[in-house]
Every structure is written in C-alpha cells, then in structure tokens.
C-alpha cells in the first residue's frame, strides 16, 4: 500500500492555491500589519548608538528613490504610503526572485555536464 | 517619513573590508545558484520567488524587544527550511539587493557584509543548525517546525556575531571595546531571536500542515515516516 503524500487528495491543496495564499499573506503583512510595526531603532541601530559608532553610517545613495524608507513619495498619509511601498516591494521581490530562479534552473538544464550524474 | 533602515549602512565598515566581503558574497552566491539550480525544479521557481517576497514582508514587521529597541525577521532559516539552503540563501540576497536599491535600506557598499551575515551565516549556517537539531528530535513531521524555530533563534545572534567580526576587521570608529560591542549585539539579538523563532515556527508549521511535501527541510522526515508506515503495514499483513 502506498502512503505517498499525493495519495491523500482530500487534504491536498494545489501548489497554485499555496502560492495565492502565501502571496495574500505577504500582502497583508507588508501592506497592512507593517503600519503597526515598532518605530524604535532595530538591534543594530540601537547598539551602534549606544556604543558610539552610529554617526559613522552614511545615508544611502538611494535616499532620493521614490520608495526610500519604505514610503511611496508624494503620498501624505503615512499608513497608505508605507503599505503601498510594502505591496510594491512584495511584488518586486516575487518577480525578481521568480525570474532569477526560473532563469538559473533553465540554464542548468541546458548544461547537462554540470547536472548531477544519473539525472535527466 | 517611512520606516527607518534596518540593514548595515555605508560607512560602518571600511572600504577594503567591505570589498573583501563583497567578493566573498558574489563568489558564494554563484556557488549557491549552481547548487540550487541543480536541485530546483523549473516549476518551483514561483515558490522560491514567493519565499523571497515573504521574507521581504517579514522584515518590514519590527517588533519591540526591549525599551526603545525593536527587532525584525532575518528569515534565513525560514527560507532555507522551505526551499533548501542554496536557494534560501539566494532569496535573502535578492531581498537585500532590492531593499538597498529601491528602499534605501542598507548601503550598497555594505551589501557584501549583509549578504555574508544573512545569506551565509543566517540561511546556510542556520540550516546546518536545523539539520543538527532535527537529528536529535523524533523523526516525525511535527519536529520540523520545532527544529526550525530552535535554529532560527540561534541564527540571529550568530549573524549579529558575524557583524561584530566585520566590525573588528574594518570598523571605521576606532578605540571601541570590541567585547562591549559583541556583548551588546549578541545580547539584543538573543531577544530578537525569540521573535524570529515564533515567526519561523508559525510559518513553517502553516506550510507543513497544508503541503508538507513542499517543505524542503522535511524531505528526510517524510521519507522515514513513509518507510515506517510501509513497514508497519507489511508486518500486519
């Protein structure tokens, strides 16, 4: 008797529904919950301030970017500007990540010499 | 104003050290992509991309850890357990790059430093800890989120210690007590590690409860579970 995971379809969710569910959760976290995140300095920044090396840090060269500091420039409502920046960031990361991993797996297929022996 | 930056800015660490870690990061990521692409199915690319996107979202959620201090997700163990250490480490690097380029979070010259701390120490090192913890737990699928949580908790102070090593090599402010910096960094990041453990436990647990077959770090446990069930069926037949 096979007790392979795929033999219990009633408890299975399709990969597509996992993708959609995960994306919705990421949107919720970056777009909404992030508005309630702590504004206190994070561990590194706090230690840098306490120990006296915070001032050695320089502003990012991208401080003028329209999404700098996780806020869409030009939107006055802080929660909206931050939430929108979060949603854009989730989409951007998803797109760049998916494209990168898709491209490298395709490239790996084209170079069978670099694939582990016994595969394909 | 939006949120403050949470990654290493330009200027904390001098140029030679930053460049050396930049070279190490590029070389290491090349190796990760080579190993990762060999084991990743083309159709699984969106899942890996989603993992990166989820880490991005998680890193936006600063939670209070002590008076006037917050912490946020690192996500290294989370990504490594979900999609494997090589792809997981690359996910962290993608997040760091986009945060630096588009969100002005983390210096461009500090990208190599952060990649080493988060991709290599956090994700790869954290995954090694995960495998070690999983080995001593019962070989059941319920052990997967627990091992991930323990590894996540340890990965955060480990990554913080890695920063202190970089600071010791190339910190631009001299005459600071390195032991004081180390104690402060590890101390606060032990607390942040608790939050990291909770988020990692919940997220890995959620995927394990719906599609355990998608969790890279659960493969061995699921295989042994199946083998045990098959053996049980045979012995009763």
Nearest-Cα distance to chain B for A71, in Å, is 5
| Residues of chain B contacting A23 with CB distance shorter than 8 Å | 50, 53
According to DSSP, the residues that pair with B64 across neighbouring strands are: B70
Contact A51 B181 (CB under 8 A): yes
The secondary structure of A4-38, three-state, reads CHHHCHHHCCCHHHHHHHHHHHHHHHHHCHHHHCC
Give the max Cα distance, chain A: 66
Q: Confidence class of residue A117 from pLDDT cuts 50, 70 and 90?
A: low
Question: What are the C-alpha distances in Å from B34 to residues B46, B214, B218?
Answer: 18, 21, 22
Whether the CB of B113 is below 8 Å from some CB of chain A: the reply is no
Whether the CB of B158 is below 8 Å from some CB of chain A: the reply is no
Do B62 and A86 touch, CB atoms closer than 8 A? no
Sign of CA dihedral B53, B102, B114, B8: negative
> In this complex, which of B55, B70, B102 lies closest to A42 when CB atoms are compared?
B70
> What pLDDT is attached to residue A112?
60
Q: Torsion over CA of B127, B133, B135 and B140, rounded to 10 degrees? A: -100
B50 to chain A: closest CA residue: A94
- Domain presence at residue A93: yes
Is the pLDDT reported for residue A1 higher than 50? no
> What pLDDT is attached to residue B51?
98
How many other CB atoms are there within 10 angstroms of residue B188's CB atom?
24
Local structure of residue B110 (DSSP, 8 states): T
Q: How far apart are CA A84 and CA A68, in angstroms?
A: 12
> What pLDDT is attached to residue A108?
86
Contact B3 A82 (CB under 8 A): yes
Structural domain span for residue A95? 78-112
Q: Confidence class of residue A10 from pLDDT cuts 50, 70 and 90?
A: very low
Question: What are the C-alpha distances in Å from A46 to residues A52, B19, B189?
Answer: 10, 25, 11
What's the total number of domains in chain A?
1
Q: Confidence class of residue A12 from pLDDT cuts 50, 70 and 90?
A: low
- Domain presence at residue A12: no
- Domain presence at residue A107: yes
Q: What is the mean pLDDT of residues A54-77?
A: 94
Average pLDDT, chain A: 86
> What pLDDT is attached to residue B236?
82
Contact B9 A58 (CB under 8 A): yes
Contact B63 A37 (CB under 8 A): yes
3-class DSSP assignment, residue B72? coil
Do B109 and B66 touch, CB atoms closer than 8 A? no
For chain B (237 residues), the mean pLDDT of every run of 10, in chain order, is 80 97 98 93 92 98 94 98 98 98 96 98 98 96 97 98 98 94 98 98 97 96 92 85
Is the pLDDT reported for residue A2 higher than 50? no
How many other CB atoms are there within 10 angstroms of residue B39's CB atom?
17
B98 to chain A: closest CA residue: A93
The conformational region for residue B167 under phi > 0 = left, psi -120 to 50 = alpha, else beta, is: alpha
> What pLDDT is attached to residue A7?
45
Nearest to B92 by CA among B44, B58, B43, B129: B58
Q: How far apart are CA B88 and CA B217, in angstroms?
A: 11
3-class DSSP assignment, residue A59? coil
> In this complex, which of B1, B37, B54 lies closest to A69 when CB atoms are compared?
B1
Residues 37-96, chain B, touching A (beta carbon < 8 A): 37-38, 40-58, 60-65, 68-72, 87, 90-91, 94-95
Strands, E, within chain B: which ranges?
63-66, 69-71
- Domain presence at residue A31: no
Nearest to B216 by CA among B102, B47, B50, B14: B47
> What pLDDT is attached to residue A87?
98
CATH fold of the domain at B15-236: Arp2/3 complex 21 kDa subunit ARPC3 (1.10.1760)
| Residues of chain A contacting B52 with CB distance shorter than 8 Å | 93-94, 96-97
| Residues of chain A contacting B103 with CB distance shorter than 8 Å | 62, 65, 67-70, 85, 89
């Amino acid at each position: 008797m096979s007790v392979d995971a795929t033999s219990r379809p009633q408890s299975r969710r399709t990969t597509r529904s996992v993708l959609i569910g995960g994306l919705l959760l990421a949107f919720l976290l970056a777009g909404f919950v992030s508005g309630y995140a702590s504004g206190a300095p994070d561990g590194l920044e706090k230690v840098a301030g306490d120990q006296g090396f915070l001032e050695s840090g320089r502003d990012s060269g991208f401080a003028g970017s329209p999404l700098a500091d996780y806020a869409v420039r030009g939107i006055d409502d802080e929660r909206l500007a931050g939430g929108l920046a979060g949603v854009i960031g989730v989409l951007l990361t998803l797109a760049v990540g998916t494209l990168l991993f898709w491209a490298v797996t395709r490239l790996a297929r084209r170079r069978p010499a670099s694939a582990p022996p016994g595969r394909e | 104003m939006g949120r403050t930056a949470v990654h290493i800015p330009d200027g904390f660490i001098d140029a030679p050290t930053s460049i050396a870690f930049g070279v190490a990061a590029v070389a290491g990521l090349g190796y990760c992509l080579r190993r990762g692409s060999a084991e990743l199915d083309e159709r699984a690319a969106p899942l890996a991309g989603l993992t990166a996107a989820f880490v991005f979202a998680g890193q936006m959620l600063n939670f209070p850890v002590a008076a006037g201090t917050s912490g946020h997700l690192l996500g290294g163990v989370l990504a490594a357990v979900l999609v494997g250490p090589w792809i997981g480490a690359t996910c962290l690097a993608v997040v760091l790059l986009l945060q630096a380029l588009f969100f002005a979070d983390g210096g461009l010259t500090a990208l190599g430093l952060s990649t080493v701390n988060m991709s290599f120490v956090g994700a790869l090192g954290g995954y090694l800890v995960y495998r070690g913890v999983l080995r001593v737990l019962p070989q059941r699928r319920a052990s997967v989120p627990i091992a991930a949580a323990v590894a996540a908790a340890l990965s955060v102070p480990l990554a913080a210690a890695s920063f202190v090593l970089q600071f010791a090599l190339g910190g631009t402010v001299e005459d600071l007590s390195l032991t004081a910096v180390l104690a402060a960094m590890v101390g606060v990041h032990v607390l942040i590690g608790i939050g990291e453990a909770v988020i990692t436990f919940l997220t890995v647990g959620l995927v394990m409860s719906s599609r355990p077959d998608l969790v890279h770090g659960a493969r061995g446990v699921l295989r042994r579970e199946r083998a045990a069930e098959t053996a049980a069926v045979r012995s009763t037949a």
